[in-house]
Structure 1
Amino acid sequence: MAPGFEEGASSRFSRQIGQECMTCHNGLPDFEERSRNKFHSVKTGIDCERCHGPGELHVERKRAGKIIDTSQYADSTIVNPARLTKELQMSLCQRCHLQGNAVLKEGKSWKDFQPGMHLDSIMNVFLPEYKGQEDRFIMASQAERLRESACYTQSDMSCITCHNPHVSVEETSIATFNSKCRNCHNGAGKKSECTEDMATRNKEDDNCTGCHMPKSGSIDIPHVSITDHHIKTRHDKDQENISYTEAQKIQQFVGLKCMTKENPSNYEMAMGYLSFYEEFSKGRYLLDSAKIFIEQRPQGDLVPWLKPIVKYHFLRNDFASIRTYASRVRLDSVQDEWTNYRIGEAYFQAKQYQKALKYYQQAVNKKPFNLAFQNKLGSTYFQLGNYQKAERVFRLILTEDPRQKEAMANLGYLLLRKGRKERASDYFKKTLSLDPDYLQAMFNQAALSLQNKQWEKARTILQNILKKDPGNSKAQQLLQRLDAMERRS
């Protein structure tokens, strides 16, 4: 199952595919930078420019008849990965083959990396380390595992030493890979000749990788089998054959390791832990680790550290602390759109809607096509009684995404408050046709039924909510009120 679809998230297949996913699984798209997942156009596959960089100048020169003998000279109009240093080659491959928790540098986007750049100039990638599971690894960890190999550390080896990027691994013969091994292990050194007996070698079709780079499962995605790129003399078969479920039980988290930078800053480590908690695991220890790095920040100006501080408290649902920190900085000093959104949410939760409005407006000004930002802005206008602006925002969202259930439910409720019951009912029904389990739309339907004095219909809706969410206090309170109303009537 693809990442992000686990734990019930696949039930409506509504997860947004953002630029981070698309920029590895495809050619670079024409992306609306002010959105989360709006694409003007999408490529039909991985193209040349992903590994060779922008090709416009290269094509122009060739069409003009300016041909370079690349067997003797470098062609300066295009990146040839074979001419890059080992580290730059690895940065290029790691852009997509170093799966982990990638955290962008300030002001950078997922499209900013170009072949020939150091990856850590654009982003840092963090991976979890586990005690007791040293031979277990995540799905796209080829670059990380290769770096642990003596073959890599004691030579000029890189990914393209063995892999031809223009030929699929599935179409590359065992003999081709064996020849790559024997180019170095050619009998000149003590450990160059294979010492395994031929009977064992023949079981693996005399395949070097069969013994020294065996296939294994991954610790993050069940039911897959991938090649371990940590080249070893011997592999621990007991660890490799352990099931996904068993591995989850015995592994012990040690910490996050930055794979792109040797000495990351306290700020970078704090952001790494916060992002890992948000994207991959809800372990409280991750937030505790982030707090340690945050507390080591230099005293003085709060603004440079506001982003991780606010995110830390937001992930803990500590909205009061966010409001305290926000009160210590000027509104115009908050530049990050997500920090604006989170501060806005802190004020919204406290029903300080006028203050929330200012921060939501700043978030929307920076990312007007982020529909979650727009929806909160519309909800704030609604709470302030500005129904005209709220309706305009909700309709804008539905113009961009006609299946956006939150805006659809909110618009329906707004129309209900304006007395347009029939139109409101249409929106509630449409929302529930998209997601029958969406509780807010069910509450809205219950409110409409109560207004129409359809007591039994309202009771049925509220009871269905409690079937889906037995501890829902709002539904319980409404049922009690309904009982009281029925007794009075």
Structure 2
Amino acid sequence: MGFLLLLFADATHSELPRITVGPVGGYVEDSVCRDCHASHYDSYQHVGMAQSFKSPVNARRIENFGEVFYHKPSNRYYQMLLEGDDMTFRRFQKDENGNEINTIEIPVDWVLGSGNRTRSYLYHTEHGEVFMLPIGWYTEGQFWAMSPGFESPDHSGVSREVTRECMFCHNAFPEIENDAFGVADRFPAKLPEGTGCQRCHGPGGEHVTQAMTGKGLEDIRGAIVNPRKLTGARRDSVCMQCHLLPAISLVSPVRFGRGEFSYRPGELLSDFLYLLDVEEGNIEEPERFEINHHGYRLMKSDCYNEGGITCIDCHNPHVKPESGAFREKVAGVCMDCHQDITHQTEVAPSECVTCHMPTRRTTDVVHVTMTDHWIARGPFESEKLTAPLEPSNRPITDIRPLKFAGQQQDQDTQTYEAIAAIRAGRSVAVGVQSLLQALSKQEYEHYTPYLDLTRGWLKLGNYAQAEAFARGLVRGDPNLAVAHYILGIAELANGKITQAKLSFRRALAIEPDPEVHFALASLYFDSGSLALAEVELDKALEIRPLMANAYRMKGRISAKLGNATKAADHFKRSLEIEPNDLATYSELVVVLRKNDQPDEAARYLNHQKQIPNP
């Protein structure tokens, strides 16, 4: 280190690496860390976290490319193709004669997941929206299957948007302009590739600057976080920022006023999130085991609560664990407290994990098994714990604060519990009433809970209340685009056409959004202003090229203008994106008949009959 300090003492300011700015400011490229920490950096590149997010060209090749997977519930066929470094997602159906219909191909821009257990795939639009594709690769079984949440017949297809909340745990923080709640999720074309050094050590810009300008060792070390020097919940929060998810069905909300990428190592996780736990129906707590339950289950262990064991007692984050050696290391940690334990039968010294941290099948990602970090006495039936499961959607029966990092019941509990329920789409009516009650007792300066309440009214179809609360939001923060959009939707539903048009225009002046352009197009279409409607649809498709309802409306416009050929092209494109839209088939059949294509019309009509009514 001393040699490097002498070397960097001569560095000029112009040679300093670029440091990010904005809400995700203070970071450098993770590769800069290698200049001083080559051994740690190089070793870490083999760890799953470093492989968590990659471009196709940099992702390890582990899949069976070209293999066709058929998903019977949605009657769709899937392929992932590889040509050189280009990865392409392909989906199609088959008509009654076995010929392809509704075929779509989408270039894959990002590979999500290390592939140690599973992988998913994303595409990234020019305007910064990122979407998840519906199939995943499951490494244990070496097969393709639907990614979690896509198992049902009416899944979201190629239209499930990736949010900042999703990106938080799957990658290093990207440099974005705004990470405030309610702001549209937009990501730069260049994203970090993998969860890097600074997610655990904090922003490295100041640390690197101190080193490269010859500052003293104390100043250099003081400008970065060493998690091993943290204690208690602050130390554990570094790991728990990504490995503490009590239930995928309900995510702990970011505290009001905090940016969604604003957590920094060294702070308590409870200062960033309002930590919530849940109970779910139809399952007992020991069996409720999910893919991201490492920290959650560890916190239920006596070894954690009474013995003081921590994540990094067993795990070296910089080194990929090799099974045999790793189990011996873990057994050594166990023996620090349990050296006097006598087993009834002879047990190998490295087998603590096998019996006391068994492998279980996860209930949310049913094609995956993981190590259960709830350290328990046992014995366990291995075959039962890893037996096949079917995807299930369990009801949430209770929400409560999660006791970690000082989180406890307080005056904000009802508010955060209610907004979490509304966001999860679970018991929205109950959540709205609970939030309304909470806000009558506790006022907040930040708009977040009022935006959640307004969205709740909108979900319930109570447009009068939605309009009233949205109007309050735009008065409080005129630059909140989503509030103007919700106000426009409510005004439109309440018959206030002119006001709705103005609200949509105000939203678009703040932030381009395909949903707002589509809402404005719908307004123009209904009033007969077809040319203006098409302008808005084209703007929507420029931002979001795979927007099925926009193509459908373009088809309807072309049909009204007497251009059956163009209408058919638009309807077909809409069905390629969303092949379960019964109404689009009906409209397509009409224009095909008008275009003197009876066989093609019959083909789509017969295919429509295969689709179950929603």
TM-score, normalised to structure 1, is 0.78
2:327 aligned with 1:177, yes or no?
Answer: no
Task: Say if 1:354 and 1:384, in contact at 8 Å, map to a contact too.
Answer: no
Q: Which of 452, 458, 468 matches 2:611?
A: 468
Give the superposition deviation at 1:170: 4.3
Q: Which of 219, 230, 251 matches 2:374?
A: 230
Mapped partners of 2:262, 2:373: distance in 1 = 28
- Residue number in structure 1 paired with 2:163: 18
2:284 aligned with 1:138, yes or no?
Answer: no
What code does the residue aligned with 2:433 have?
K
- Residue number in structure 2 paired with 1:429: 572
Of 266-275 and 146-155, deviating more is: 146-155
Question: Aligned in 2, Cα 1:363/1:170: closer, same or farther, shift over 3 Å?
Answer: farther
2:449 aligned with 1:298, yes or no?
Answer: no
Mapped partners of 2:613, 2:488: distance in 1 = 30
Give the superposition deviation at 1:173: 1.9
Task: Say if 1:378 and 1:389, in contact at 8 Å, map to a contact too.
Answer: yes
* CA deviation map 1:331-361 (0-9, x unaligned): 5346655454444334444554333334434
- Residue number in structure 2 paired with 1:116: 266
Give the superposition deviation at 1:93: 1.2
Task: Say if 1:133 and 1:247, in contact at 8 Å, map to a contact too.
Answer: no
Aligned pairs (5 A) from 1:313-352: 313-319=457-463, 321-323=465-467, 329=472, 331-333=474-476, 337-352=481-496
* CA deviation map 1:170-200 (0-9, x unaligned): 4552111111222344x5xxxxx2232243x
Question: Aligned in 2, Cα 1:366/1:148: closer, same or farther, shift over 3 Å?
Answer: farther
Provide the aligned length of Structure 1 versus Structure 2: 450
* CA deviation map 1:73-108 (0-9, x unaligned): 981121111122321122221111112413233344
Give the superposition deviation at 1:271: 0.6
Mapped partners of 2:231, 2:507: distance in 1 = 41
What code does the residue aligned with 2:327 have?
I
Mapped partners of 1:113, 1:255: distance in 2 = 27
- Residue number in structure 1 paired with 2:422: 274
Mapped partners of 2:534, 2:257: distance in 1 = 33
Give the superposition deviation at 1:134: 1.9
Give the superposition deviation at 1:246: 8.5
* CA deviation map 1:182-232 (0-9, x unaligned): 2344x5xxxxx2232243x24xx6422222222212222213211222222
2:560 aligned with 1:409, yes or no?
Answer: no
Identity %: 24
Mapped partners of 1:397, 1:317: distance in 2 = 25
* CA deviation map 1:367-424 (0-9, x unaligned): 42x4233322332333344444433332223223333322222233334434544433
Mapped partners of 2:532, 2:434: distance in 1 = 43
Aligned pairs (5 A) from 1:247-262: 253-259=396-402, 261-262=407-408
Task: Say if 2:355 and 2:380, in contact at 8 Å, map to a contact too.
Answer: no
Question: Aligned in 2, Cα 1:184/1:123: closer, same or farther, shift over 3 Å?
Answer: same
- Residue number in structure 1 paired with 2:363: 219
* Larger RCO (CA under 8 A, 6+ residues apart): 2
Task: Say which SS state the counterpart of residue 216 (structure 1) adopts.
Answer: strand
Task: Say which SS state the counterpart of residue 391 (structure 1) adopts.
Answer: helix
Mapped partners of 2:377, 2:296: distance in 1 = 18
Task: Say which SS state the counterpart of residue 161 (structure 2) adopts.
Answer: coil
TM-score, normalised to structure 2, is 0.63
Mapped partners of 1:421, 1:252: distance in 2 = 47
What code does the residue aligned with 1:44 have?
E
- Residue number in structure 2 paired with 1:477: none
Mapped partners of 1:243, 1:318: distance in 2 = 45
Runs of 5+ consecutive residues of structure 1 not aligned to the other structure: 188-192, 472-489
Give the superposition deviation at 1:163: 1.3
Give the superposition deviation at 1:469: 4.8
What code does the residue aligned with 1:273 have?
A
* CA deviation map 1:280-339 (0-9, x unaligned): xx5x4x643553343343269899653233333333344454346557x47534665545
- Residue number in structure 1 paired with 2:588: 445
Mapped partners of 2:464, 2:599: distance in 1 = 40
2:534 aligned with 1:380, yes or no?
Answer: no
What code does the residue aligned with 2:229 have?
R
Runs of 5+ consecutive residues of structure 2 not aligned to the other structure: 1-145
Of 109-118 and 12-21, deviating more is: 12-21
Mapped partners of 2:505, 2:205: distance in 1 = 39
- Residue number in structure 1 paired with 2:206: 57
What code does the residue aligned with 1:152 have?
Y
Mapped partners of 1:174, 1:378: distance in 2 = 60
Give the superposition deviation at 1:41: 1.2
Mapped partners of 2:517, 2:461: distance in 1 = 21
Question: Aligned in 2, Cα 1:326/1:455: closer, same or farther, shift over 3 Å?
Answer: farther
Question: Aligned in 2, Cα 1:79/1:102: closer, same or farther, shift over 3 Å?
Answer: same
- Residue number in structure 2 paired with 1:288: 430
Question: Aligned in 2, Cα 1:292/1:14: closer, same or farther, shift over 3 Å?
Answer: closer
Mapped partners of 1:37, 1:5: distance in 2 = 23
What code does the residue aligned with 1:79 have?
V
Mapped partners of 2:509, 2:432: distance in 1 = 29
Give the superposition deviation at 1:449: 4.9
Question: Aligned in 2, Cα 1:365/1:144: closer, same or farther, shift over 3 Å?
Answer: farther
Aligned pairs (5 A) from 1:22-61: 22-31=167-176, 33=178, 35-61=184-210
Mapped partners of 1:115, 1:302: distance in 2 = 27
Task: Say if 2:254 and 2:260, in contact at 8 Å, map to a contact too.
Answer: yes
